[in-house]
Amino acid sequence: MRERQAGMIINGVKIDDTFAEAFPMVATRLIITADTERWAFTAANSMIGFSTSVIACGVETGIEKKLKPSETPDGRPGMSVLLFAMNSKELAKQIVTRTGQSVMTSPTSACYAGIREGKKIKMGAALRYFGDGFQRSKLLGKIRYWRIPIMDGEFLVEDFTYEVPGIGGGNFLILAESRGQALSAAERAITAMNRVENVVMPFPGGVVGSGSKLGSKYPKLSASTNDAFCPTLKGLTKTELPPEVESVMEIVIDGLAEKDIARAMRAGVRAVCTLGRKNGIVRISAGHYGGKLGPYHFHLHKVLK
Amino acid sequence: MSGFAIILKDAPRQRVDLAPLTERICTAKKAAEIEKLPVFVGNRKCVLGDLFVVYGKPGERLVLDNICDKIDGIGSRWSEGMLEVYGDAGDRLGHGMTGGDIIVHGNVGNFAASGMRDGEILIEGNAGDFLGAPIPGERIGMNGGVVRVEGDAGARTGDRLRRGLILIEGDVGELCGSRMIAGSIAVMGDMGPRLGYAMRRGALFMMRPPTRFPETFNDSGTHTLPFHHLFLAHLKRQGGAFSVLNPSDNRLRKYVGDISVQGSGALLFHDS
**All domains in chain A, ordered by first residue:** 8-22+166-303 (3.30.70.520), 25-164 (3.30.70.520)
Q: Which B positions 14-33 lie with beta carbon below 8 A of chain A?
A: none
Q: Which ranges of B163-216 does DSSP label H, i.e. alpha helix?
A: none
8 Å CB contact of A156 and B264: no
Name which of B231, B253, B270 is nearest A75 in CA terms. B231
Q: Are residues B248 and A110, on separate chains, in Cβ contact within 8 Å? A: no
Q: Do A33 and B203 lie within an 8 Å CB cutoff?
A: no
Measure CA B125 to chain center.
Answer: 12
Of B203, B223, B226, the CB nearest to A110: B226
Q: Does A145 touch chain B (CB under 8 A)?
A: yes
Contact residues, chain A, for B186 at CB < 8 Å? none
A110 contacts in B (CB within 8 Å)? 226
Contacts of A138 in chain B (CB under 8 A): 184, 203, 227, 231
At A3, the pLDDT band (50, 70, 90 cuts) reads very low
Cis peptide bond N-terminal to B258, omega within 30: yes
Q: Does residue A5 have a pLDDT over 90?
A: no
Task: Tell me if residue A210 falls in helix, strand or coil.
Answer: coil
How far is Cα B238 from Cα B145, in angstroms, rounded to an integer? 11
Residue B76 has pLDDT above 80, yes or no: yes
Interface membership of B223 toward A (CB under 8 Å): yes
A246 — pLDDT class (breaks 50, 70, 90): very high
Residue to substitute from A108, A112, A138, interface B, most B β-carbons within 10 A: A138
Q: Which residues of B touch A74 (CB under 8 A)?
A: 226-227, 229-230
Distance from CA of B208 to the nearest CA of A (A): 22
Query: 3-class DSSP state for residue A137?
Result: strand
How sure is the predictor about B1, in pLDDT bands with cuts at 50, 70 and 90?
low
Mean pLDDT, range A150-178, rounded to an integer:
97
How much is the mean pLDDT over chain A? 95
Could B230 and A73 be called an inter-chain contact, meaning their C-beta atoms sit closer than 8 Å?
yes
Summarize the confidence of residues B52-78 as an average pLDDT. 94
Does A147 contact chain B (CB < 8 Å)? yes
For residue A154, give how far its alpha carbon lies from the nearest alpha carbon of chain B (Å): 7
Among chain B residues, CA nearest to A146: B227
Q: Mean of the pLDDT values across residues A186-202? A: 98
Q: Distance between CA B125 and CA B251 in Å, rounded?
A: 31
**pLDDT, chain B, mean:** 95
Chain A interface disruption, residue of B205, B224, B230, B238, most A CBs within 10 A? B230
- Hey, is the C-beta of A140 within 8 angstroms of any chain B C-beta? yes
pLDDT at A143 > cutoff 90: yes
pLDDT value of residue B229: 97
Contact B226 A76 (CB under 8 A): yes
Contact of A136 with chain B, judged by CB distance below 8 Å, is answered with yes
A177 shares contact with chain B (CB less than 8 Å): no
DSSP-derived 3-state class of residue A219: coil
Residue A4, pLDDT above cutoff 60: no
Q: Cα-flanking dihedrals φ and ψ of residue A80, to 5°?
A: -100, 125
CB contact under 8 A, A75 and B233: yes
Residue A95 has pLDDT above 80, yes or no: yes
Of how many residues is chain A composed? Answer: 305
ipTM of the complex: 0.92
To the nearest whole Å, the CA of B190 is away from the closest chain A CA by 24
d(CA B117, CA B163): 8
Mean pLDDT along residues A236-248:
96
**CB-based contact B226:B219 (threshold 8 Å):** no
Contact A136 B201 (CB under 8 A): yes
User: pLDDT tens, B155-214?
Assistant: 999 999 999 999 999 999 999 999 999 999 999 999 999 999 999 999 999 998 888 899
Cβ A156–B225 below 8 Å, yes or no?
A: yes
- Residues 12-71 on A with a CB inside 8 Å of B are 33
A&B contacts, CB < 8 Å: 39
Whether the Cβ atoms of residue B174 and residue B191 lie closer than 8 Å to each other: no
Please name the residue ranges forming H helices in B107-244: 226-237
Residue with the larger pLDDT of the pair A167 and B262: A167
Question: Given A136, A145, A153, which is nearest B230 (Cβ)?
Answer: A145
Nearest chain B Cα to A148, which residue? B227
Answer with the residue of higher pLDDT: B271 or B243: B243
Residues of A in contact with B234 (CB under 8 A): 140-141
pLDDT of residue A233: 97
A43, A47, A154: which is closest to A96 by C-alpha?
A47
Q: What is the structure's pLDDT at B262?
A: 85
Give all strands (DSSP E) within A6-74, no chain letters: 8-10, 13-15, 19-33, 60-67
Mutation for testing the B interface, residue in A36, A76, A140 having most B CBs under 10 Å = A140
Q: Does B203 touch chain A (CB under 8 A)?
A: yes
Identify the pLDDT of residue A2.
40
> For residue A6, is pLDDT > 70?
no
- pLDDT single digits (tens) A19-51: 999 999 999 999 999 999 999 999 999 999 999
Instruction: Decide if B145 contacts B121 (C-beta within 8 A).
Output: yes
- Grade residue A1 by pLDDT with cuts at 50, 70 and 90: very low
DSSP string, B234-256: HHHHT-GGGGG--TT--EEEEEE
CA-wise closest residue to A163 among A202, A127, A93, A115: A115
Say whether residue A94 is in contact with chain B using an 8 A CB cutoff: no
